[in-house]
A and B are shown apart, each in its own frame.
Chain A
Amino acid sequence: MTGVVRPSRRSLLTGGMALGASLALPGCAYIRDDAPTDAPLPPSAKAEIDGDLIYFNWADYLAPKVVKGFQEEYGVKVIESNFDSMEGMYAKLAAGNQYDIVFPIAKWVVKLRREGKLRAIDPAQLQNAEQVFYPGSYFNEPWYDAGSQVSVPFTVYKTGIGWRTDKVSSMTGSWDDLWNDEARGHVFTLDDQDEALAMAALLLGYDVNTAKASELEEIKKLLISQKEYLRAYSSDDINNLVGGDAWVHHMWSGDFLYMKDGVAEDPTKFDFQAPSEGVPINSDAYAIPANAQHPGTAMVFIDYLLRPENAIKNMGYLYYPFPVRDALPAFAELTADAPACNVEISDLENENVFRLLGADEVQRRAAVWTEVKAS
């Protein structure tokens, strides 16, 4: 399997968006006020095929055989477009491009819903709805979508630390391990504003979304103190570990599993920990834009993806867990060698989720992150 390393979606996010930025961000779409709206949601469509599916997702983010199976079973075409950042996805939607299904990260569900850009999804229309919306399910009332009105959960994942067991023997199960002496010069922190600040915030006992000046100042000092241990800030976690540059890497659980299971020549050399101070948990969702032309097909597609057998196929491809009830045991099996990569639904109930912040808060956080990287 070596040599066919699929770079992590998020490393493309930072690298790829760089090149795609000029295309992904049509300036005029941004310079307008997409103000919050109280208008009622466009009603849910019935789960009935009403045309080909115009699909808008990260590249390579569903198992191709699952998508192919949908086309064969329902006799429709899946017309695929890709985004390489949430900002890029948002800009295209804001510019009026029409897609039938999109895959926003949780906090972007908040933003899209607030601006009236999503259509309601009625679970009663979905035969497999009870796989995610069973009684007592976290997703009946997720933090990002009150009443679960516009989204259906897609994946969940956490951020932790991957490391080389043959190089480092003094891991302590804390975020402090990113300051490990044995790995000095071989430590990587994710090149991601939210993740980097969250890691330091957790170590200091603060909220992962903090925008308080005094707390940010402490976070800045802490992150700058890490520089003498650091090799680089990078989100290309898979390649950095496999290439031997990283011995201790701040990384995403799904990337770790993919690397260990699908890429590494000797998987026993790698392990993953979810630090005891708590870890950021994030989730992606399915959503149907308000201006979708074929919302019926999109409903059928979501229903199809919720079938446990399809969720299992997708998880075996993406290595990120799907919160589909009857598929979770299969994921636990996938994580048998690295149980810390497993995400329990109960993990979602902690407070370490990345919320949608006000622009002033984002800018304060960004200023700190800039100073850390530039110093």
Chain B
Amino acid sequence: MAVSAQPRSAQRTSLWGWLLAVPSGWMAAFFVSSIVIVVLLSFGRTTNDGFPAFATSTANYRALWNEVYLELFVRSFLYALAAVVISVLIAYPVAYTIARHGGRYKNALVAAIVVPFFASYLIRMYAWKALLSDDGAVNSGLRSSGLSDGVTFLNTPWAVIGGLVYGYVVFMILPIYASLERLDLSLIEAGKDLYHGPVRTFFSVTVPATRPALFGGVLLVFLPAFGDFVTAQLLGGASTYMIGNLVQQQFMEGQNWPLGSAMTVALMVALAVLMVVYLRATSTQARES
């Protein structure tokens, strides 16, 4: 037996090797190579016919030193942060209610949350416009009920933040739900014995147990929200331009792929630094708890 165990494990290793080859090849071909192209192009130039071409210029990086860009970076950071905070406030109660009180409707409730996200992001943002415009359904309702003369929802920073929350909140709900779902009920019962009372139990037992999921959800919402440009374009106002809009403009109307690439690389580096800081802080916290 001991003799035959040896080749079997070797076989298994080579099988794994082969299975890994497909995803590795895929990632190398389509993920790594496209990032390499972006990095190379960030040192490039634009030909007079408007084509991006490879070169060895640092002009694109020097052009990034612009107050306006820094302002957009800060604005995008604040919008994404607000979207994260609101997402947590929405996601926790929703996930908790489904996981703890959903009973046999659990799966149906999770599906009800996920299904709308099969619709195109663009369509959902257009739907928001129809609902929230000055003469839209919500304002008509407010007016006919006499509650208000109408509220300007659209084209404000809050419309953008709201759109971001709507767009990405599901990435917060699902990990928290999964972790609550797995949570051992006896822990909560033990917590009740120990701490007397549901509130203290919630904050001392439930929240720490779901912390990794929460930290993951924060990243899953923050990163796409930070780079988003569709929301600001459709729901934003005259002064809600985000960093994603800036990058997108370089690739389209601006006809400046090299500058857009330099912005992308700088943004990736900045976000990577932020992420490392965040992951270190959260992992220390997780260990301490």
Contact = CB atoms under 8 A, between A and B. Distances in A.
B237 A363 contact: no
A236 B126 CA distance: 10
A242 B135 CA distance: 8
A193 B253 contact: yes
A27 B37 contact: yes
Given A27-B37, A232-B155, A374-B68, A366 B256 contact: yes
Contacts of A185: 152
B133 to A, nearest CB: 3
Interface in B56-76: 68-69, 71-72
A34 B122 CA distance: 33
Contact of A19 (B53, B71, B121, B129): B121
B241 A373 contact: yes
B49 A15 contact: no
Contact of B133 (A15, A111, A244): A244
Contacts of A192: 253
A363 B245 CA distance: 16
A205 interface: no
B252 A87 contact: yes
B155 A245 contact: yes
A18 B242 CA distance: 14
Interface string A282-311: 000000000000000000000000000000
Contacts of B248: 18, 21
A85 interface: yes
Contacts of A34: 49, 51
Interface in A351-375: 358-360, 362-363, 366-367, 369-371, 373-375
Which one of B121, B238, B254 has the greatest number of beta carbons of chain A within 10 Å?
A: B238
Interface in A45-70: none
A38 interface: no
A106 B48 CA distance: 19
B134 interface: yes
B237 A231 contact: yes
A198 B178 CA distance: 54
Interface in B108-161: 120-122, 125-126, 129-130, 133-136, 139, 152, 154-155
Interface string A8-24: 00000011111101000
A239 to B, nearest CB: 6
B163 interface: no
Interface in B211-255: 229-230, 233-234, 236-239, 241, 245-246, 248-255
A59 to B, nearest CB: 13
A374 B129 contact: no
A370 B246 CA distance: 7
Contacts of B246: 370, 374
Given A18-B229, A191-B233, A362 B239 contact: no
Contacts of B230: 15, 18-19
A269 to B, nearest CB: 11
B54 interface: yes
Contact of B51 (A32, A244, A373): A32
Contacts of B126: 7, 239
A243 B135 contact: yes
Given A19-B121, A373-B241, A360 B48 contact: yes
A14 B233 contact: yes
Interface residues of B, number: 53
A232 B256 contact: no
A227 interface: yes
A374 B263 CA distance: 15
Contacts of B53: 31, 33
A115 to B, nearest CB: 8
A233 interface: yes
A1 interface: no
B52 interface: yes
B121 A245 contact: no
Given A19-B122, A232-B237, A359 B255 contact: yes
B247 to A, nearest CB: 11
Contacts of B50: 358-359, 362
A230 interface: yes
Contacts of A147: none
A334 interface: no
B238 to A, nearest CB: 4
Which one of B234, B246, B251 has the greatest number of beta carbons of chain A within 10 Å?
A: B234
Contacts of B177: none
Contacts of A370: 68, 246, 249, 254
Contacts of A15: 122, 125, 230, 233-234
A30 B51 contact: yes
A104 B87 CA distance: 43
Given A236-B234, A362-B255, A374-B68, A243 B134 contact: yes
Contact of B129 (A25, A32, A227, A236): A236
A35 interface: yes
A75 interface: no
A43 interface: no
A76 B185 CA distance: 67
B13 interface: no
Contacts of A19: 120-122, 230
5 contacts: A21-B252, A85-B252, A233-B238, A366-B249, A373-B241
